[in-house]
Amino acid sequence: MGMEILTVICPDWRSAALVLNAKGNTVIFANWHCITMLSQGSLMHLIGDRLAFRDSELDRKFQLEVERLVASGAENAFVIGREPTSANWISVTLRNGQGFFRDALESNLGKSAPDHHLVVVEITAGDDRLDPAALAVFAETALLSPAEAELVEAVVGGHSLSAVARLRGIAVSTVRRRMRSVLGKTGCRRQAELLRLVLSLCPKAPSMTQEAGATRRADREFGLRQADSLGRTGAPT
């Protein structure tokens, strides 16, 4: 049952996530988005089974926050830094084994051994696009036209109205008129309010730069190997 509970905690449909044994920072399980990141190796990689970030400062902060999380028993910890090759912003969330997470692990993997303290690590890149399906539903619900929906996606992606006009080859006044229409349809008074609304309703879509089936197979093999290793501490199967 060990493998099944880990896939529930870090499902493939979520952003990059893994289960880490904080006593040694060894990876127990990773979902396929995280496997993709690890195989690319530009942000993080494995040294044996130990997780390490390429940027030394980001790695130092990460190791420090893991230690603090374990020592304090806090629910969450956060690390924010930049990916070394592209300078994109990266957010790393650490979630301690509490409540349902702790109970589920103990029930399915056995009581925690002294050399195990499991935490969930979630990794979000600042350049991740919003899920296009969620954006499409938002646009449909708000009765946005195709041009207005494209404008919302562009603005959420960081483009100014003048940049949108330049990219679309239309007048800035046309883009501003569309934005006023979007604000009216969504009930937002300002563009910043619109951004907050869209970002709160539409999840990000993790980048998929490798073939999904191959990555999922690698994920299953990695997860089975790590779950089996953890299970040998006396976990029920």
Q: For residue 180, is pLDDT > 80?
A: yes
Specify the pLDDT at position 99. Answer: 62
CA angle 82, 162, 91 (to 5 degrees): 15
Q: What pLDDT digit, counting tens, does each position of 138-167 carry? A: 999 999 999 999 999 999 988 999 999 999
Specify the pLDDT at position 89. Answer: 83
Q: Which two tokens stand for residue 212?
A: 């999904």
Return the CATH fold of 130-204. Arc Repressor Mutant, subunit A (1.10.10)
Residue 170 CB partners (closer than 8 Å, separation 6+): none
| Cα Rg of the chain (Å, integer) | 21
Q: Are 179 and 161 in contact (CB under 8 A)?
A: yes
Residue-range domain boundaries for the chain? 2-128+206-231, 130-204
25-39, 89-103, 153-167, 188-202: segment of lowest average pLDDT: 89-103
Specify the pLDDT at position 87. Answer: 74
Cα 10 to the chain's mean position, in Å? 10
pLDDT, greater one: 207 or 22 = 22
Specify the pLDDT at position 59. Answer: 94
Bridge partners for 45 per DSSP:
52
Token pair 């003048």 is found at 162
Q: Stretch 124-136: mean pLDDT, rounded?
A: 82
Q: For residue 211, is pLDDT > 50?
A: no
Q: What is the CATH number of domain 2-128+206-231?
A: 3.30.450.20
Q: Which two tokens stand for residue 164?
A: 């949108």
Among residues of the chain, what percentage have pLDDT more than 90? Answer: 46
Q: Which two tokens stand for residue 99?
A: 């409540």
Q: Are 95 and 88 in contact (CB under 8 A)?
A: no
Q: Count of CB atoms within 10 A of residue 84's CB? A: 16
Q: Which uninterrupted H or E stretch holds 159?
A: none
Quick one: pLDDT band at residue 232, thresholds 50, 70, 90? Answer: very low
H runs (alpha helix) in the chain: 2-9, 32-40, 56-72, 99-109, 132-141, 146-156, 161-168, 172-186, 191-201, 212-231
Specify the pLDDT at position 216. Answer: 46
Pairing of strands 16-21, 76-82: unpaired
pLDDT, averaged across the chain? 81
Q: For residue 194, is pLDDT > 90?
A: yes
Q: For residue 102, is pLDDT > 80?
A: no
Specify the pLDDT at position 206. Answer: 56
Specify the pLDDT at position 190. Answer: 96
Q: Is 87 left (phi over 0), alpha (psi -120 to 50) or beta?
A: left
pLDDT, greater one: 115 or 111 = 115
Among residues of the chain, what percentage have pLDDT more than 70? Answer: 76
Specify the pLDDT at position 68. Answer: 93
Pairing of strands 44-47, 26-30: unpaired
Q: Stretch 190-201: mean pLDDT, rounded?
A: 94
Quick one: pLDDT band at residue 179, thresholds 50, 70, 90? Answer: very high
22-26, 35-39, 105-109: segment of lowest average pLDDT: 105-109
Q: 146-156 and 172-186 are packed helices; what angle lies between their axes, rounded to 10 degrees?
A: 90
Residue among 225, 234, 230, 155 at smallest CA distance from 188 = 155
Q: Are 186 and 7 in contact (CB under 8 A)?
A: no
Q: Name residue 94's amino acid.
A: L
Q: Stretch 197-226: mean pLDDT, rounded?
A: 58
Alpha-carbon gap, residue 213 to 211, rounded angstroms: 6
